[in-house]
Amino acid sequence: MALPCVLFSSSVADYDPKEFVKRILNVAVLPTPQILTDNVESYEWAFENKYYSTSVHLCTTDSRTIGDQDFAESVEAFVHYFDPNQLNSFELAKAWLPYLKHIEPEIQILVCECSRYTDVVCRKETLEWCIQNGFELVELSPENDEDEDDDFPETTGMARIIQALNAHTWPNMEMKDSPPVQSPYLRQMMKEQHLINQQNANAVLNSGSETSACENNEDSLTEGVTCNSENQDTDTDLSSHDAGSETDNVKKTDMSSNKESVCNNSTGAVTGNEENVQQSSNASTSNKSADSGDSGGGSSANEQMPLDDINWKALLADSAQTDAPLSEDDIGVEEFEQLFMKLKVMKDKADTMPVDERKKYAEKVAVSFWKAIGGDEDEILGLDDSDAD
Amino acid sequence: MIQFCVIANKQGRIRLRRIYEHIEEKNQHELELAVVGKCLSRSSKQCNFFYHDHLTVVYKKFTTLCFICVVTKDENELAMQEILNVFMDCLVAYFHHVSELDIVFNIEKVYLILDEIIVNGCVGFTSKERVLVPLQLLEAGS
């Protein structure tokens, strides 16, 4: 059985500790008490709040006691009433301290009607004693000290005692499942966020179906362009590295192998890039959008862009050979876009040429690229002349 | 730097404690006892910060709770005061009518909030919305 106990006592003749019990139980007449040990009467109090429900014994005693050991161990809270205008009353309250050492209650409350600085036991003295001994001073009818611009007024009196009892973790409490903790403000915020997420998810689904329905040039083309501009660094690195390691004679075979590796590389980059874009535009994208991105990027890579892409790289490799320095920073997306359109044609033409002519042709292409990226005219002056010749 | 933060109730019982600068446990305990005692014994008309030994104590009373921040003297008292306000604001935003009961039974959430605001003894995030993000994520997931 051994419910946890709250022990009430009083050191004022005309204040019966049963008053506490009456007011906590909110009854006019107390039921017949249960006698726990000598001089200790108890009343059961079942209460609940949003976190737990429990029941405890509200015990009253008229004399200082620790009862028996069981009782002493079961006391979780101690509430004592005193009168600050009777020195004797305060002394009697102090006399509880050695007993409390044995009982060790978690909650200790000293109660009075009102503590003033003019009392026999001055408010300052009372407060100091309370703080030193881990008591809380609760006034049943406190004087209003007027600094009531406080947004969060303090609970006082009996309500505070009940509040303090509620804030204790009772050993026999039964926790409730998932109590509503968050404020309405936060719940509203989360609801809104949820709605936004849903809308985003819907939007993604819709847009995904649209692009797949009209998988036309426009889409894949813009995708290709953005991907190129983003992947320039890696691509040019790769090609210039290859160009440096290869000789003129083996260039042709190398170019074809280079072609493939670049092709793989760029398709990988396209899909990867695609996913990035999707994810950044919609934080809550599901697998669905990633899938649609994949297929879109894949189709564009296979159908349209990759050939141009490779040619461009091959040509860049050539241009590196012909000592036309490449300043990557200058490359503009729009200018390249136009060149890309022509590149397929150029490539087809170059394929039909013998090696020497192809080199010259590549030079031309390199020069046109050079101009497109706004390179210095002086540097390609000689090349232009030789071409004209 | 912020040495430690505690939330104490009116009986001087520590409800939350976060220590950022290690000192010996016994000394820490004594220091807390002294600081909490001083904070509780100060009236509402007194200044919300004071000096204790070589440290600055900034506190804020909130209904039955006392939020206390103990910092080195090179910190600005008003800034610390504001950090406590931010902390309280966040608690109020999250719990609405925050009480000792809420803190006792949601201590892990209170720590989550505090750990966004004060990181390793320094001020982290000060935006209420930002501070509550981890909790929102956590709850959105559950």
Nearest-Å Rg of the Cα atoms of chain A is: 43
Q: Is the pLDDT of residue B73 over 70?
A: yes
| B136–A193 C-beta distance less than 8 A | yes
**pLDDT tens per residue, range A338-386:** 666 777 777 777 777 888 888 888 888 788 777 776 777 777 766 654 4
* Residue numbers in A near B13 (CB within 8 A): 106, 134
Read off φ and ψ for residue B116, nearest 5 degrees.
Answer: -80, -35
Give the closest of A52, A127, A185 to B96, CB-based.
A185
Q: Which residues pair with A161 in a beta bridge?
A: none
**pLDDT tens per residue, range A187-220:** 777 777 778 888 888 887 777 555 444 444 444 4
Q: Is B63 on the interface with A (CB under 8 A)?
A: yes
**pLDDT tens per residue, range B45-62:** 899 999 998 999 999 998
Contact between A156 and B67 under an 8 Å Cβ cutoff? The reply is no
Which residue is it, tokens 């022509």?
A342
Which residue in chain B is spatially nearest to A149 when comparing CA positions?
B44
**pLDDT tens per residue, range A238-265:** 444 444 444 444 444 444 444 444 444 4
b/e map of A131-157 (b: 16 or more CB within 10 Å)? bebbbbbbbbebeeeeeeeeeeeebbe
Q: Which of B16, B59, B90, B101 to mutate to test the interface with A (most CBs of A within 10 A)?
A: B101
Which residue is it, tokens 């737990």?
A52
Within 10 Å of residue A310's Cβ, how many Cβ atoms? 23
Global pTM? 0.60
Tell me the nearest-neighbour CA distance from A131 into chain B, angstroms. Answer: 6
Give the closest of B12, B45, B136 to A134, CB-based.
B12
Q: Is B72 on the interface with A (CB under 8 A)?
A: no
CA atoms within 13 A on the CB side of B96: 9
* Residue numbers in A near B93 (CB within 8 A): 183, 185-186
* Residue numbers in B near A184 (CB within 8 A): 96
CA A185, A187, A189, A195 torsion-angle sign: negative
Tell me the nearest-neighbour CA distance from B42 into chain A, angstroms. Answer: 10
**pLDDT tens per residue, range A93-116:** 999 999 999 888 999 999 999 888
DSSP A68-131: SHHHHHHEEEEEEE--TT-HHHHHHHHTTHHHHHHH--SEEEEEES---TTSSS-HHHHHHHHH
Give the closest of B37, B45, B104 to A169, CB-based.
B104
Which class for A240: exposed (0-12), middle (13-18), buried (19 or more C-beta within 10 A)? middle
pLDDT band at A56 (very low <50, low <70, confident <90, very high): very high
* Of A65-69, A227-231, A245-249, A333-337, highest mean pLDDT: A65-69
Contact between A10 and A90 under an 8 Å Cβ cutoff? The reply is no
Give the closest of B41, B96, B106 to A183, CB-based.
B96
Tell me the nearest-neighbour CA distance from B101 into chain A, angstroms. Answer: 4
Which residue is it, tokens 């005219």?
A377
- Which has more confidence, B72 or A344? B72
Is beta strand A52-61 parallel, antiparallel or unpaired with respect to B14-19? unpaired
pLDDT (0 to 100) of residue A130: 92
**pLDDT tens per residue, range A1-21:** 578 999 999 998 888 989 899
